[in-house]
C-alpha cells in the first residue's frame, strides 16, 4: 500500500502490511523531484551507469550514513546485495558453514522465517536445532533449555518473526561462536552493539528503503570461506572486493 492519488489530491494511507513499507513523504518528494534529472546530470538515477562516478558517490553516501546510524565498527564490511532475506538463507551457510571443520551451525527456530533458513542451511552442512522445533511459535524459549554446539561455525537467529509475532529483546550469548542475525523487520529501530555480531542481514523493503536491495553487515575475519559451489554473486569476498558492484545492482534502490 501507499499514497493513493486521485483527482490531483493525495490520500495518505496507513500501511500495516509486512512490506514493502511506507516511505516518508519527504523521501518520495525528493525522488519525484529527481526522477527525470539527478543533480543536473541529464539522466535519472535509474539510467546511471553503476560504474559512473555519480553512482559511486550515491553508494558511498549510503554506506557512510548506515555506518553513522548503526555505529558500525571499521572491521565490518557493508554490502548492498540482491536476493532478499531469502537469498541470505542460502548465502549464509554457503559462506560460513566451512568456518569450522565440522561444517555445522546452530539454529534457533522461533518462527516461520528462521524455520525456512534452517531448512535451507541443511543443504550445505549439519544444522543443530538449539531447541526442538515447536508446534506453535509463541515465545522465545528459555535460555536454560538451549543446547549450543561450542564447535559450531555460527549461531543463527531471526530477531523478529513478523508472521508469528515473536521477537528477541536481547542479543543471545554464544560463548564466542559468531552470531548471524536476520534483522529484516527491525533493523534501524533501536541502538545495537554491532560488535556482538558476526553478520547481520536485512531486506531493505522493511525499514530501509524500496525493495530490491539486501543489506549485509559482516565482520571482516568471516570473509573468504565460501564453498566452491557458492554462486559468485553470493560470495561475500567477491562482493566486498568489488564494492558490491560485481554485478549490476538495483541502482534506484
Q: What is the CATH number of the domain that holds 157?
A: 3.40.640.10
Cα-only R_g, the chain? 19
| Residue 182 appears among annotated catalytic residues | yes
Which residue in the list 106, 113, 164, 235 is annotated as catalytic? 113
Which residue in the list 77, 100, 106, 182 is annotated as catalytic? 182
> Which of 58-62, 98-102, 204-208 is predicted least confidently?
204-208
| Residue 228 appears among annotated catalytic residues | no
> Which of 11-15, 144-148, 222-226 is predicted least confidently?
11-15
Burial class (CB in 10 A: 0-12, 13-18, 19+), 20: middle
Phi-psi region of 130 (alpha: psi -120 to 50; beta: other; left: phi over 0): alpha
* Phi/psi of residue 92, nearest 5 degrees: -60, -55
| Residue 74 appears among annotated catalytic residues | no
CB under 8 Å to 199, separation ≥6 — which residues? 92, 96, 154, 178, 179, 180, 181, 216, 217, 218, 219, 222
Same domain, 110 and 157: yes
Extract the runs of DSSP E, i.e. beta strands, from the chain: 4-6, 9-11, 76-81, 104-107, 126-129, 155-158, 160-161, 166-167, 179-182, 199-203, 214-219
Same domain, 67 and 110: yes
Same domain, 138 and 28: no
Same domain, 9 and 66: no
Q: Is residue 200 part of a domain?
A: yes
> What is the reported pTM?
0.90
Same domain, 14 and 92: no
Q: Is residue 98 part of a domain?
A: yes
User: Three cell numbers at 116?
Assistant: 525456512
Range of the domain at 176: 53-241
Judged against a pLDDT cut of 80, whether residue 70 lies above it is answered with yes
Number of domains present in the structure of the chain: 2
pLDDT at 1: 43
* CB count in 10 Å sphere of residue 42: 9
Judged against a pLDDT cut of 50, whether residue 208 lies above it is answered with yes
Tell me which of 36 and 197 has the higher pLDDT: 197
Amino acid at each position: 500500500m501507499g499514497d493513493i492519488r486521485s483527482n490531483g489530491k493525495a490520500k495518505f494511507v496507513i500501511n500495516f502490511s509486512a512490506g514493502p513499507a511506507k516511505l516518508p513523504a519527504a523521501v518520495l518528494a525528493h525522488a519525484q523531484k529527481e526522477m527525470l534529472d539527478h543533480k543536473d546530470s541529464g539522466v535519472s538515477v535509474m539510467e546511471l551507469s553503476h560504474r559512473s562516478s555519480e553512482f559511486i558517490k550515491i553508494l558511498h553516501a549510503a554506506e557512510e550514513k548506515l555506518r553513522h546510524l548503526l555505529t558500525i565498527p571499521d572491521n565490518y564490511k557493508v554490502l548492498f546485495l540482491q536476493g532478499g532475506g531469502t537469498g541470505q538463507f542460502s548465502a549464509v551457510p554457503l559462506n560460513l558453514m566451512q568456518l569450522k571443520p565440522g561444517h555445522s551451525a546452530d539454529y534457533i527456530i522461533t518462527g516461520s522465517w528462521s524455520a525456512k533458513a534452517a531448512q535451507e542451511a541443511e543443504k550445505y552442512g549439519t544444522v543443530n536445532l538449539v531447541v526442538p522445533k515447536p508446534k506453535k511459535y509463541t515465545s522465545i524459549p528459555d535460555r536454560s533449555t538451549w543446547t549450543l554446539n561450542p564447535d559450531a561455525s555460527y549461531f543463527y537467529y531471526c530477531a523478529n518473526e513478523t508472521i508469528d509475532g515473536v521477537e528477541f529483546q536481547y542479543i543471545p550469548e554464544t560463548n564466542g561462536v559468531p552470531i548471524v542475525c536476520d534483522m529484516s523487520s527491525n533493523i534501524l529501530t533501536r541502538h545495537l552493539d554491532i560488535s556482538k555480531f558476526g553478520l547481520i542481514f536485512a531486506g531493505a523493503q522493511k525499514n530501509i528503503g524500496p525493495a530490491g536491495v539486501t543489506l549485509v553487515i559482516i565482520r571482516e575475519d568471516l570473509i573468504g570461506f565460501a564453498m566452491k559451489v557458492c554462486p559468485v554473486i553470493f560470495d561475500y569476498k567477491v562482493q566486498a572486493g568489488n564494492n558490491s558492484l560485481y554485478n549490476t545492482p538495483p541502482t534506484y534502490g
